[in-house]
Structure 1
Amino acid sequence: MIISASRRTDIPAFYSEWFINRIRAGFCTVINPFNRKQVAYVSLQPGDVDVIVFWTRNARPLLPYLSELSARGYRYYFHYTLTGYPLMLEPYAPSVEQSMVNFRELAGMIGADKLIWRYDPILVSDITDYEYHRRNFAALAAQLEGFTRRVVVSLADEYRKAASNFRKLAQQGITVRTDYSGDAFADLMTCLSTIARKHDMEIFSCAEIYDLKPYGIFPGKCIDDKYLRAVFGIQVAAGKDKSQRPACGCVPSKDIGFYDTCLHGCLYCYAGTYHAAYKNRLAHDPVSPSLIGWYEA
């Protein structure tokens, strides 16, 4: 079983104490995000876990526990989001400077092969236009060279929760574009691909409905059976995770997070809003079997 920690929230940044408590207990419970009366028991025993996939913008709170995870026999790797967007788009995310320090320290602890950079999503707007992304991606890639081997990109979508934030931005005179076409778009995709390879990184897309292959960006799997075999020497089922979006190529995993619990407040987020997350945070107990509240299976 592959544990996803988590597509729904940032467990390393905000719930590291809870996570290590669940590792020590050997299990956690997961609430159905659409029906809280449905609660699943998830074993976290080392013998039941093939690998743990962490998704984060800030791994620092988890760093003190990584040696314990390794000593207990767990395999793990990180998807690490670092976009460096203006503060009004990512109001509570770590600064680029602090993110670079954290990213590099993590790479030194676990190795560049187990740390995947996410420039995700690519948000095209009045304050982050195509030229902005060329400069921004190039600057970040140069600083991350040698600390990662792979970068994942995707294009911003109008998810229900993000669409509301996009409308608020429009009221401030900032328009977000979600129609991706034309020569300028093609030039940007080609540019990102060229920059990534210049800095010794493979570049892949994530659950992308647009065909980016002509620009050198091929469909990726964020949870990838071939990657797991190459990096960890393990064999996992190669089938598609049917619980994910149609364009997602990931193999099956069990997500232990909960929506509306991430406090970064990114305005393009599909997994929740800051106000709902703040409310749910008040219901968090680091010794509970579940991420919020106290739910037993």
Structure 2
Amino acid sequence: MAKFQFLLPLDGSVHTEIAADNAIKIARMYNADVSTVYVVDTGIFEDTEDIKTQTEFGNTLLDKYGQYFSDKGVDIVKGSLLVGSPFNEIIKIQKDIDASLIILGAPDNKLGSTAERVVRGARCHVLIAREKTAGDEPYKHIFVPVDGSEDAGYAARFAASIAHRSAANLTACHIIQNMKKLSEGKAITKKVIDLAESKGMKAASIVREGKISEEILKAIDSEQFDLTVIGYTGRGRISRLILGSISEKVIRSTSCSVLVVKSLRTEKVYTVQKSHG
């Protein structure tokens, strides 16, 4: 089976360091290849001398993270320096290497314009990495909202796979409009519990009543999850669970890392060899 390809864009900020730590963690889990890219933003730097300076900075950054990954036992298979629009160049290189995951760093409760465009426009999964998941510690508490849709189901399989490989706790959540839907909500989350148990794991479930985005955020904050996995169709439409701006509100308004799983990519996440035995 071909290796997964992961893409880590660099910008020199502390958030890049957090993204790098997450890239290393997930690359180890899935024995994946990682490529890095630095884009000289011509929307900011137009002068020839400025572009030259940023090119030198970018090459230094690529070398720095090449060594950082090597020290952690993960090799960078390709480091690229490009000039242009960060969003456009990230999307181009993702297609060129057929990356299944882009890892971006972000501050708590915020999302930069490039990261937001990548979440919307990339035809692959996107991990928004935040401070809670910095360092070498594995993910410990993983949260997946589900609604019974195919997209959310794929996200649940991905969440269970990561939980399995990192020995993390897994919690499934369904939001209902009223208590008449309680049994339906329990049935939906039970599918995730059954999946986890089939892999020898234990999982918990939460069924909450109210507005979807608000209740998802309350659940994340109350339980102190470090990684949320949420489904996205990747075809310009969003599943019923995250209809309209709900997914983006969750991504932007939480302090935990968020993995946006797009059903356009249908990797069999349980069939990739684990790197830690």
TM-score normalised over the length of structure 1: 0.27
Larger fraction in helix = 2
Q: Structure 2 length normalisation: TM-score? A: 0.28
Question: Of Structure 1 and Structure 2, which has the larger fraction of its residues in strand?
Answer: 2
- Structure with the bigger RCO (C-alpha within 8 Å, sep 6+) is 1
